[in-house]
Structure 1
């Protein structure tokens, strides 16, 4: 390990207790999204912590046309002045908990257990302390670290990250972006895209005693959904060339019927029905072409039986990928290898990442975080405290490598 790395690790170890306490405070705030509660309270804690760490924070309110989110905002901080930019990006909303007990953080055996510890409040703490360490230890030269923390990643991040992009707050000339999502110490240099649909089927209601006069939308829905399932099986057989965790399927992943419903009563022929299709597509796929194919599958199946259907796109998010031999990736690999004592592993994230917002602007973007994907969103979600500090060290040293 280099002397610089040792200095960073010592600086972080001396602050291990305050890092754990900050994570505990963040976990204790119920920032479930949906519905989007507690966002302002969580942002205030982050603003306060960033101010204490010398990150010059500002809280930027973002418009929410739906009026659903509670105090939607982005918390932005900066270390350094002028020069090139390196972005640290994360989110402070969490998925709904399985139990309210998950908002009471539990610290035991070197771990902190609670909702959002892995995805990704633990990663947020790592990024804040990584940025602070880089600044205080003089690792960066004339460049800047800009920290972006958004409020709506779990529901697509159109308001948070989308606002940053649309308002010109992301500089296309930036050297790189890194997010501390739960990669488990692996470098995610690619992520899937997302395409979500809602298929509506219309029929005609009739009393059960005169069922022959109705048009059963549920029966039509089953026929259409079966055709979509066949399409999903075909897409699962189309594999990515990006390296992945050996336990993760390499094909495109589609879930048919994650949500579904029909009818108005048990004794009435259902006059309407619906089902959803949610897909995660490898970077090799063209999302626009896949939307056309999937829509055609639905419409062709409906035509076979004379069903009346409509298809609505509820989400379309592009994939993202940065080559392993890109200079920004090579620099990150060196930092990770130096700290871990072993070569960095590059993999594709099986889900979607906010790297896409930066990749669309031509910025090389990566995921590297302390949590584990397999425990994220689950009832026993946790993060190792030592892993949070290691992640913070990687972020600090990456800033030093990119902004010498």
Structure 2
């Protein structure tokens, strides 16, 4: 019996327990925003990890916006000198219906909010690590879990806390996070830059509109060249592989959020809009800030407007070469279980891998869920895929500690 078959044979008897755990986690409403139920879910994850012998602890993190009891659940298995991180998040995007917190099993799938992104992946990681331990695959290695609470809103409160407090070891051999990649390997991700542009005008009653200075009109004038830039950027293609050629373009959304004025019968004296920029690994975050600032300043000067720019998010892109030994170790592990080699792709968004790759740790997204159903009203995960992914994680640990 080959190792992949051995690992899968260890996992299969746990199928019902894995499904029951996933259903329990899905039923815990951890919508973010606003970030409710995080402490309760973290406590349950700790108890499950205790039952599996994964040496857990809860690390409280400082209060952050509306997050309820923000925390990181940290655990480990093995005592070797080589360190591998299993990273995941237990917050979920807001549901389209409260019924999504009533998990439903049918035709080999579990339906509900967070099944694909990424509570199903967390279950895969927990049981994959337990399999690696029980089958003696850890060798001179140690798997460390970081389960965080605010990935859906940028992860500064939890992953950022780990980074700031020196709790991510730059000497780790690798990191993997259970994002819904449907069996592909995300070995790179875009960077993120979010700006809030404020425009000042002068308020006046509609009957004396000539005395006012319309901040909304200025906002429209400033946004126009930014929309032109967004169309131009879309034609800048990354060299990293993606399934969709158009998706390789460099992305920007202008005005995803905006607001102005105080009432319908007054010239608006203030206005604001957002810019969300997701740039490819070939692009530099500082150069992108400078480019956007230059466009905004030039448009504001032409309109005679007074503006200010606030940087809300600034995250560099990151990636690990497809040829890296640990990238190939993960690919070989997936191929053994799935029967065919996985594709390597650039994640279309940003990933938690960035907190590790910035420190030089090879970092990857690989998980059992599907991106095309994540965040949607029919979100689900295939239970068999969840178990196969657990086997991949166990095999990856074995290879990571012997490569």
TM-score relative to the length of structure 1: 0.98
CA distance in 1, matches of 2:350, 2:293: 22
CA drift of 1:342 comes to: 1.3
Matching of residues 69-80 of structure 1 within 5 Å: 69-80=67-78
CA distance in 2, matches of 1:269, 1:111: 54
Q: Which residue of 2 aligns with 1:379?
A: 377
Q: Which residue of 1 aligns with 2:147?
A: 149
CA distance in 2, matches of 1:113, 1:12: 21
Could you tell me which runs of 5 or more consecutive residues in structure 1 were left unpaired when the two chains were aligned: none
1:172-200 deviations in Å (ceiling 9; x for gaps): 11100001100010001001010001111
- Match of 1:87, SS state, is strand
Q: Which residue of 2 aligns with 1:221?
A: 219
CA drift of 1:246 comes to: 2.4
CA drift of 1:248 comes to: 5.5
Q: Does 1:313 align with 2:347?
A: no
Superposition CA RMSD, Å: 1.1
- Match of 2:267, SS state, is coil
1:270-289 deviations in Å (ceiling 9; x for gaps): 11111111111100000111
Matching of residues 28-177 of structure 1 within 5 Å: 28-66=27-65, 68-177=66-175
CA distance in 2, matches of 1:339, 1:137: 16
> Is the contact made by 1:12 and 1:129 (CA closer than 8 Å) also made in structure 2?
yes
> Is the contact made by 2:80 and 2:139 (CA closer than 8 Å) also made in structure 1?
no
1:116-159 deviations in Å (ceiling 9; x for gaps): 11111111111111111101111111210111100111111112
Could you tell me which runs of 5 or more consecutive residues in structure 2 were left unpaired when the two chains were aligned: none
Size of the aligned set, in residue pairs, is: 402
CA distance in 1, matches of 2:317, 2:244: 20
Q: Which residue of 2 aligns with 1:8?
A: 7
Q: Which residue of 2 aligns with 1:259?
A: 257
CA distance in 2, matches of 1:350, 1:306: 37
- Match of 1:11, SS state, is helix
> Is the contact made by 1:248 and 1:350 (CA closer than 8 Å) also made in structure 2?
no
State the 4+ residue runs in structure 1 displaced beyond 6 angstroms. Answer: none
1:303-333 deviations in Å (ceiling 9; x for gaps): 0010111111111111110001111111111
1:344–1:245 CA distance, 2 compared to 1 (3 A): same
